[in-house]
Amino acid sequence: MWSAVDRWLGPPAPASRLAAVRVAVVAFALAWTAGIASELLTRAQLDPSRFAPVGLAGLFGVVPPALVTTALVVVFGLGILALVGRGYRWSAPAFALTLTWLLSYRNSWGHMSHSEHLLVLHLWVLAFAPAADALRLRSTAPATAPSGRYGWPQRLLMVVTVSTYVIAGLAKLRGGGSWISGETVRLHVATEVLRNDMIGTDAALIGRPLLPFAGLFGAFAIFTLVVELGAPLAVAAGRIRLAWVAAVWSMHLGIGLVMGIGFAYPLSGVAFAAFVPLERLVDWLTRLRQRRPA
């Protein structure tokens, strides 16, 4: 029994698959940080009375804007090192820690960015995994055989991802039948449409014309529950896993189109990198590079 459990927790996997996940997640984290840097610096200059600390931001409270700028520079430096796999044993944990504080600080000024939570959790898993044994800059280390050493971090990434969706599904069930009927979804969409009207944007592309069709919101609510509560099936291999990834990505796309709320990390597909055999892409790119004339 314990042998079966061990095989499930750490299935043999190639080092290149885990390394590809590292590259994808860290690259997204760097791109995301670059995108929010200006907004973060603006928030850092707000009135301290608006500061409501969450996460690591509560350890130090309000800090000078210059320190936030310094943290941004440090994050980019550490992130680049983690991206290319240099000094990974210390650069990856330091990157995860610094970025966690930075994003916690950003979320402490009155607006919670939920799409960042899963990204941070993934970075912490990768920080303590052997994710730089392949795809490392200027590395001459020989290729390693598939091993559970590279399988358990990906399994853990899957479990963490799946858990967030299950928790979201259970939270919806706590509301009783209002979610299943679709009324709660319809109310959320109507609220977003009204908010967009007030601030002069049209982020909810198709939300307004769908409001008269109550039945559609009931179908969307049930689909959402099936995807979220059925998330544990994604830990299984094969077509079930890929089908769930396609379904949950479609769910986020629908949320973006109907409500104008975009969850960048899952919409990019990077949030599900651990569910996909990325080593095939690595092998294809390697063969393609080798075919090029010198």
Euclidean distance between CA atoms 81 and 92, whole angstroms: 8
pLDDT of residue 147: 85
**pLDDT, position 38:** 93
- Residue ranges of the alpha helices (H) in 133-238? 148-173, 177-181, 183-199, 207-210, 214-229
Token pair, residue 211, equals: 């409001």
Which residues make Cβ contacts (< 8 Å) with residue 152, sequence separation at least 6?
9, 10, 129
CA distance 82 to 95: 8
Query: In the predicted model, what is the mean pLDDT of residues 157-185?
Result: 84
Mean pLDDT across the stretch 218-234? Answer: 90
**290-to-20, 69, 282, 283, 293 alpha-carbon distances in Å:** 19, 42, 12, 11, 8
Q: What is the mean pLDDT of residues 176-186?
A: 74
Strands of 29-102 (E only): list them.
Answer: none
Question: What are the pLDDT digits (tens) for 183-224?
Answer: 788 887 887 777 777 766 665 667 777 777 777 888 888 899
Range in 1-5, 34-38, 112-116, 124-128 the model is least confident about: 1-5
The mean pLDDT value of the chain amounts to: 86
Q: Determine the Cα–Cα distance for residues 147 and 134; give it in Å rounded to an integer.
A: 13
**How far is the first Cα of the chain from the last one, in angstroms, to the nearest whole number?**
53
Looking at residue 112, its pLDDT comes to 77
- Give the integer Cα–Cα distance in Å for 102 and 33: 9
Token pair belonging to 236: 């299984």
Contact between residue 175 and residue 47 where contact means Cβ atoms under 8 Å apart = no
Mean pLDDT, range 145-161, rounded to an integer: 91
> Which of the four pLDDT bands, split at 50, 70 and 90, describes residue 119?
very high
Mind listing the pLDDT tens digit for each residue in 39-53? Answer: 999 998 999 989 999
Higher pLDDT among residues 111 and 267, named by residue: 267
Structure tokens that stand for 59 in this block: 């350890």
pTM greater than the 0.85 cutoff:
yes
pLDDT at 232 over 80: yes
Question: At residue 9, what is the residue type?
Answer: L
Q: How confident is the model at residue 137 (pLDDT cuts 50, 70, 90)?
A: confident
Cβ–Cβ under 8 Å, residues 44 and 102: no
Q: What is the dihedral of CA 80, 86, 90, 93, to 10 degrees?
A: 40
The one-character DSSP state at 200 is T
Q: What pLDDT shows up at residue 186?
A: 82
